[in-house]
Amino acid sequence: MPAPPPIRVAAATSALPEVTRWVAGVAAGLDADAAYRLRLVVEELVVNVAEHARPADGTVRLAAGDAGPDAVWVLVEDGGPPFDPRRPPRPPGADLPPERRPPGSMGLVLVAAFTDDLRYERRAGRNRARLLVRTRPAAPG
Amino acid sequence: MSFECRWERRDGTAVVTVAGELDVHSAEDFRAVVGQALDDAPDRLVLAMAELTYLSSAGLRCLLFARQKAAAAVDVVLTGVRPEVERTVRLAGLDHAVTFADESG
């Protein structure tokens, strides 16, 4: 099934329902586990742009395609200040146990764990995070 | 993207039952219900999560909120947690802050 065409959504949490519907189309060929991870990762990246980057044009662009029979890639692009989601700034309290840490850094931890590849480039004044999610073999046991 | 949250008192335990998706949209609802449950000064807080199908980082922050708002002596117990939700909790390192139990928890 071909991936749905790119969309541009408001860089706001109010756009998440639209993002979720779009991701469901992208994930149509994945198993339930990979589809769950893909949804969560894309939502976290959009929320991150909405809450931190706040691009001047107020939008995030999402594009996607197949990466073989069991994998998809998604490009999350925004015009906010440079931000590499693979190397988030060290959050305050990083040495504390999680339950005592200030909230806010957990989304990108999930992004790192749930993607099978994550690349970032700054091009023409825009952040371009390209992630890959593939159906993983069942874990032993 | 539905979410339902309610609580009841069972002896010393406050049981908060959550169903649907816990994310940026439902977080406020969850915090309000957990706040009410903890205001009732339970000995134990159970979050019954068998019908919770999605947990984002906003949902993780909700669990932190529950842990931090509860008195230190109050156990925070997650019951019936689905594997994908449990994995998310463990990845964030919050499994040290809460207890997992089966649905009878």
Measure the CA–CA gap between A60 and B60, rounded to whole angstroms.
24
Which residues of chain B does A107 touch, with a Cβ-Cβ cutoff of 8 Å? 56-57
- What pLDDT score does A87 carry? 77
Whether A95 has a pLDDT exceeding 90, the answer reads no
Q: Does A33 touch chain B (CB under 8 A)?
A: yes
Give the pairing type, strands B13-22 and B44-55: parallel
Q: What is the ipTM of this complex?
A: 0.90
10 Å CB burial of residue A94 (0-12, 13-18, 19+) is exposed
- What pLDDT score does B1 carry? 64
* pTM over the 0.80 mark: yes
Average of per-residue pLDDT values in chain B:
94
Selected for mutation to probe chain B from A38, A39, A40, A46 (highest B CB count within 10 Å) is: A40
Average pLDDT over residues A114-135: 97
Q: In what order do the strands lie in the sheet with B75-79?
A: B3-10, B13-22, B44-55, B75-79, B99-101
Taking only residues 63 to 92 of chain A, the set having a beta carbon closer than 8 angstroms to any beta carbon of chain B reads none
